[in-house]
A and B are shown apart, each in its own frame.
Chain A
């Protein structure tokens, strides 16, 4: 029987079947489950690296040693790994190497909506785009074969709706290709200018060979239909098939390089060509450059996700049920994601908000502190940016130094925070960096990292000591606080922002989702004046009902912050009774 697999689970299965023995990555939605699934297969070594650049480098080393390799990351992770990637395109590989880029149109869990098809084109490497779970599995094998045949890394590009949608997949057996022998070849792998100039020519020749291959590539297929032509790829193919069931469709599975002759022949067979693609006019512009008359982004949006309704409506093909239109725009209270009850980040963010500090934020659950009532975040740019930005602020405006902090999580700090902190020390900054150490990579679902003492395969690992690391980077002022103790947090923040040298505050508490809850506090109804001060915590377990604070004991994790901020002592620490 077929199995119902997400695109990510299917990619893991495909890697297993194709004989991948080494897999690396860094967690990032929507890519995370690829490695989590792959780690469960026998005969596969899988690891989380501290960041995507290291992950790719580990993958390249494994490829040179002759293994088949998969490296997985989210779209913005490829930016971090772009440095090795762009030159890896010159050196080529030994064992096959597939880089999975999981893009996030619609920004369900991302800071931008970049279209990584351009990165594959810039690197000059082949790119495959599956349109469902079955193809996701099959294309991993194809990518590895292409990688070895053409001596190049290959990008497999998914989007959220491929990564996180599930479909039925036919499973196959594992192939176990022998590890290719390692051969020293300085002219191919040592990219000094003299070698790199030759490799650039090899890279250009390879792209010509790939262009010829694209014309015959089995994943570029035509579905016969009427005289309306659709050119599409990835999940957009599925939407297009539903919105235009009668059309003639050219489905591109290989989207770099494009098959010029196939496209020209396709154009002669149809009256009109629509290019249905999410995000940028990546296919559209290349089709135009071939001299073809096509329509794309004049009809379909360039922002956000497509879906069957967007594709159909954009062409005025089917306006959908009339009542749907009438209801559109109705204002309902939003339900944005929030910091969980008991989240250890809340105490720190509350103090920063009350002290009215400027907060250079970072990527993680704590970014949710941007919302009212905490509103304790002034910036969020990319992994690790908080620290460099805090230094930049004090260099530009010295008067802001005592009023600015950087806030970064433990996993993000190991990913990209170390070098920023070095910069503060080296360039004699005085910024205060607050590391929110919840002992996990929480936002993506609690993955391990160098500070957790455990690996992706579940083995014990050396647990990096944050204090020692920070001191080793040259920071002399290091304070550890419990974020459930508001007075201690307030004191540490006041003290360290005033100190005329670099300082690090480590706010340490495990993610509340990883530990059992404590007793919920009780509200003394007679003592509660309904002042609403406790609501400033933005806790989903707290509400005012008829001017009295009410704690939802089912949701409450017993962190005790509300009893600390209560002005009248009406909220009493819990006594062990859980409702």
Chain B
């Protein structure tokens, strides 16, 4: 009889509708599947995609039951405020990969609310290992502003215990040929940005 509780690796990909969290989740799920794991992915379509908060939940392991995560091991925040929003659903000491980007929600644009300051420091102060990634900068370096999601997937790859071949095959399988080269470059840049300091390294970063 299987005991499945806590056997899965749980990853939250949080962002704003239109930021490419769905493709990022697909690449992660595909890589996990190619590595022989059971996988479940949960996301929400429809109204929420119109510029609202979105989250893709990916779970992989020997046997995954619930499509929803209880408390995640890794949070990939495509936007800083969205990073803050999902902290309550992290395990103690979880890893936060935080894209430098900020996108003001409507209540902030209209002056009805203030955008929180010093988000990386707030996250670190709560005891989460935090890696701030210059997504837009690295994506531009890779050749397309739209490749921010693959930069973040690259940084995530450095944190997860999945083989490199699974990641590159997943990119081959899911990215249309015309964008493949840029996305591979973006992935590599993201991975390099996280690489030396992640997985096994115990030093809380930047």
Residues of A in contact with B (beta carbons under 8 Å apart): 1-2, 4, 29-30, 32-33, 108-109, 132, 160-161, 164-168, 235, 238-239, 241-242, 245, 307-309, 312, 320-321, 323-324, 327-328, 330, 332-340, 365, 368, 371-373, 443-445, 532, 535, 538, 540, 542-544, 554
Contact = CB atoms under 8 A, between A and B. Distances in A.
Interface in B28-79: 29-30, 33, 38-53, 64-71
B81 A242 contact: no
A365 B50 contact: yes
Given A166-B40, A337-B48, 12 more contacts: A2-B33, A4-B33, A32-B45, A160-B44, A167-B64, A245-B4, A320-B70, A333-B81, A334-B105, A334-B113, A335-B52, A335-B81
Given A108-B46, A335-B82, A323 B126 contact: yes
Nearest to B40: A167
A241 B50 contact: no
B44 A108 contact: yes
Given A109-B46, A535-B111, A308 B88 contact: no
Given A165-B42, A307-B68, A324 B89 contact: yes
A109 B110 contact: no
Contacts of B112: 372
Given A321-B92, A324-B71, A372-B110, A443 B46 contact: yes
Nearest to A309: B70
A161 B40 CA distance: 11
6 contacts: A2-B33, A309-B71, A336-B52, A337-B47, A337-B50, A445-B46
A163 to B, nearest CB: 9
Contacts of B70: 242, 307-309, 312, 320
B29 A4 contact: yes
Contact of B4 (A241, A334, A443): A241
Interface of B: 3-5, 16-17, 29-30, 33, 38-53, 64-71, 81-82, 84-85, 87-92, 104-116, 126-127, 145
A538 B50 contact: no
Contacts of B109: 535, 540, 542-543
A371 B106 contact: yes
A486 B202 CA distance: 59
Contacts of B108: 333, 543
B48 A108 contact: yes
Contact of A307 (B49, B65, B66, B104): B66
Given A242-B4, A323-B92, A535-B109, A308 B38 contact: no
Contacts of B126: 323, 327
B42 to A, nearest CB: 4
A442 B71 CA distance: 34
Given A4-B30, A242-B70, A535 B110 contact: yes
A353 to B, nearest CB: 13
B124 to A, nearest CB: 13
Contacts of A445: 45-46
Contacts of A327: 87-88, 126
Nearest to A235: B67
B51 A337 contact: yes
A124 B134 CA distance: 58
A520 to B, nearest CB: 15
Contacts of A109: 44-48
B29 to A, nearest CB: 6
A312 B71 CA distance: 12
B5 A333 contact: no
A238 B50 contact: no
A543 B104 CA distance: 9
Contacts of B127: 323
Contacts of A2: 33
B110 A538 contact: yes
A567 to B, nearest CB: 17
